[in-house]
Amino acid sequence: MNKQSGIHYLREHREAGSNQPVPVEVTRIRDTVVAGLGDLLQGAFDAVDDSLFELANNARSNNEQNRYFEAMREIRIKRKGVERHFQNTVAQFFSNPPHTGSFQEDALGRQANADNLALVGNDDLEEQVALNAMITKAKAHFQGPLLQLQTRFSQVYEGATDEAPVNPMAPEHLCSAFTEAIQALEIQIRERLILLKQFDRYVVSNLGMLLDEANRILIQAGVIPNFRYHGKTGEQHVAPDGQSTAQAPDGSEENRREAAEGSNAVFEQIHQLLARQRANAGIPSRQNDPNIRIIGGNELASLLASLPFSTQDTDTGNNLSEGEPLTIDVRDVVQQILAQANTSDGKKPALKEVDEDLINLVSMLFEFILDDYNLSAPVQVLISRLQIPILKVVIKDKSFFSKTTHPARKLLNALARAGIGWSNSDEKARDKLYDKIHGIVQRILNEFDGDIVLFETLNDEFEEFLARENRKASLVEQRTRESERGRIKSQKAQELVDRVIKERVARYRLPEPTYNILVNGWSRVMFLAYLRDDVEHRWQESVKVVDDLIWCLHPHQEDAERDQWVRVVPGLLKSLRAGLEEVSYNASKLDQTMSQLKHELAEAFRASSSAELVEESPTQEPEQDDLKSHMQPQPEDAAIAEFVAQIDGIEIGNWVEFRLVNGASFRCKLSAIIEEADCFVFVNRMGLKVIEKTRVELAHEMRRGRMTLLEQGAFIDRALDAVVGSLRSKTA
């Protein structure tokens, strides 16, 4: 793990600390927590094992499969040691608890420092990002219990203060303990991220019950039994009677609400980056300017509520997706409504820096939307109409940025996900999905009055609609997939049969009746044998009949060969008749055909040259041609090797866009990979086949820029990642 992680911090503080006597109530908490975390960790490791097995089972190559099996083996062997290390480290936290405050500040400083991040390796950075996200989510989700527990532990441990509080159960300590424990595992970054994901799912997400139990034990011991907290704006302290109190500047409910919302970790990070950007630009803070009246909270929400949606009107009539995506300068719109605010005191109205950053963030999010190639054009235009409604949402509820379950965020993600398969050529007038999305945007513009319940209602209706549409599309896609598999397998079977017979008969001049039997009759037997080979295993037998027949028609002078001929012919004739009867070949004249064949075989046995060997020279030229054709494409193969690797990374269900030579484009989804034919089958969002190509053909399309992979991650998550990345690069 990189030195920037919290692991070394914790290790240094554990080693530097002295073994202090642990209070009785803390010992009880320690035993409960260590045992509980052990049980949760077992569930996490079981889930990791299942995940790796599933990945190995779905692997596309032996190397990839072996990689997952090796990771499973490594984790199974060292699992007990990791569990023991983790539990021992957590137990040590209760003996020598690290100061939570200093770690927290240090971690936030490191997280926001783009220079430091630039020094971290890619794998370490991925792991650190996953760890930071896990900690941030846990601290936001368990904010109340964690704050109570930190305050109570700080009362129990000597040397702990308000400036340097302690909490052995802080998420950053537990996560770092686990990350330190898994350093013993010799696995790659992908498997390590799977471990962290399952640790988050099974351990960190279930910390609530352990935090509540720890608080209950301390309350029973009389440690701050009555706890009151009034947010970040107040200064927290513990009263002499053991009760925690807080002094807020004005004690208003609005400030307490804003303080709680201000704890949003995602927005806090962006707020810090924007603040650093302002500082670098030399922009002074307006918060203490006596000539400015700060507008925020309910007053700003009221001003935004009065903002009409007429700013989004277009000349497209009732069709909101016509034309280009709508661009709105949100900052300018907000400045206009500020200018209309009541200024009877003569002061110039201005926004709080937090609210100003929220507006900037919404503006940057929609700039990303307008530049996001992965969104289909009609959906991009429709979502661009929602800029003002989303601004109103985030001003009232900043959790939009941190809660993936936020109704408005879920709806935007669902709209983008559903419309990814739209092509510009689609006929929207007859498209139910288009009508549904268009209707949702229209309802938001007409009905949204600040109540977020509207987004929740629309999202529920849309998800129900999508479920119905997806069920129908899935049935069609399944039939398409099965049909294509059957067709391609039949095509391959016919090609193989033709090649096998052609190779055999090309070496000899066979009598005409025998040639007809093989090419027109027995080829059908071989075709069916190939298709049924998985069950009946008759393919090799059908090929052997061809070889035996040609061999028996060739003159043989050696006694051993003639003895073998006598043994082979009766069974050969029996197999030929049975097969030809099965495919109904020349049913009315089958007896006559078999009699002719027997006569030809008898003539061959009497050493008359019924089958003459064709000259060698014609067969040598194709081999040389094959060698040349194999040699020639090597430079081209090397050129597309990188693209072939990208094609191998495409998974079933991924969307791509193809661009035609005439400039038209269409989007489709990978529905099936038929390995035996090296064939990739793509369908549209209705489940109907639109194109099929081989791996090499797809690599060439990608190399020429005529095929693009589309990102399918959560839309808002991608937008936030892009915004944060852009801000970090600007403040570096």
Q: What is the predicted pLDDT for the residue at 285?
A: 65
Whether residue 421 lies inside any domain: the answer is: yes
Alpha-carbon distance of 431 to 269, in angstroms, equals 42
Whether residue 488 lies inside any domain: the answer is: no
Residues 696 and 726 in one domain: no
Whether residue 69 lies inside any domain: the answer is: yes
* Average per-residue pLDDT for the chain: 77
Residues 407 and 535 in one domain: no
Residues 173 and 308 in one domain: no
What range does the domain containing 315 cover?
Answer: 263-477+719-731
Residues 606 and 655 in one domain: no
Q: What is the predicted pLDDT for the residue at 376?
A: 80
pLDDT(491) > 80: yes
Specify the range with the lowest mean pLDDT, choosing from 62-66, 173-177, 498-502.
62-66
Beta bridge partners of 672: 681
Higher pLDDT, 232 or 706: 706
- Other C-beta atoms closer than 10 Å to the C-beta of 130 total 20
Residues 76 and 147 in one domain: yes
Residues 453 and 313 in one domain: yes
Residues 386 and 515 in one domain: no
DSSP strand pairing (655-659 vs 665-674): antiparallel
- CATH at residue 648: 2.30.30.140
What does the pLDDT look like over 130-144, one tens digit per residue? 888 889 888 888 888
Residues 111 and 207 in one domain: yes
Residues 124 and 151 in one domain: yes
Q: What is the predicted pLDDT for the residue at 287?
A: 61
Whether residue 238 lies inside any domain: the answer is: no
Q: What is the predicted pLDDT for the residue at 174?
A: 93
Residues 334 and 460 in one domain: yes
What does the pLDDT look like over 205-217, one tens digit per residue? 889 889 988 888 8
- Other C-beta atoms closer than 10 Å to the C-beta of 1 total 17
Q: What is the predicted pLDDT for the residue at 266?
A: 67
pLDDT(367) > 90: no
Q: What is the largest CA-CA distance in the chain?
A: 124
Cβ(614)–Cβ(506) under 8 Å? yes
**Total number of domains constituting the chain:** 4
159 DSSP 8-state letter:
T
Alpha-carbon distance of 14 to 6, in angstroms, equals 12
Residues 440 and 473 in one domain: yes
Alpha-carbon separation of residue 428 from 61, 321, 425, 439 (angstroms): 41, 10, 9, 13
pLDDT band at 242 (very low <50, low <70, confident <90, very high): very low
pLDDT band at 45 (very low <50, low <70, confident <90, very high): very high
Q: What is the predicted pLDDT for the residue at 249?
A: 39
- Mean pLDDT computed over 13-40: 73
Residue 534 phi/psi, 5-degree rounding, is -60, -30
Higher pLDDT, 625 or 127: 127
pLDDT(286) > 70: no
pLDDT(664) > 70: yes
Residue whose structure tokens are 């006694």: 559
Whether residue 249 lies inside any domain: the answer is: no
Q: What is the predicted pLDDT for the residue at 18?
A: 41
Highest mean pLDDT among 226-235, 263-272, 582-591, 664-673: 664-673
pLDDT(318) > 60: no
Residues 322 and 383 in one domain: yes
Highest mean pLDDT among 201-205, 352-356, 641-645, 721-725: 201-205
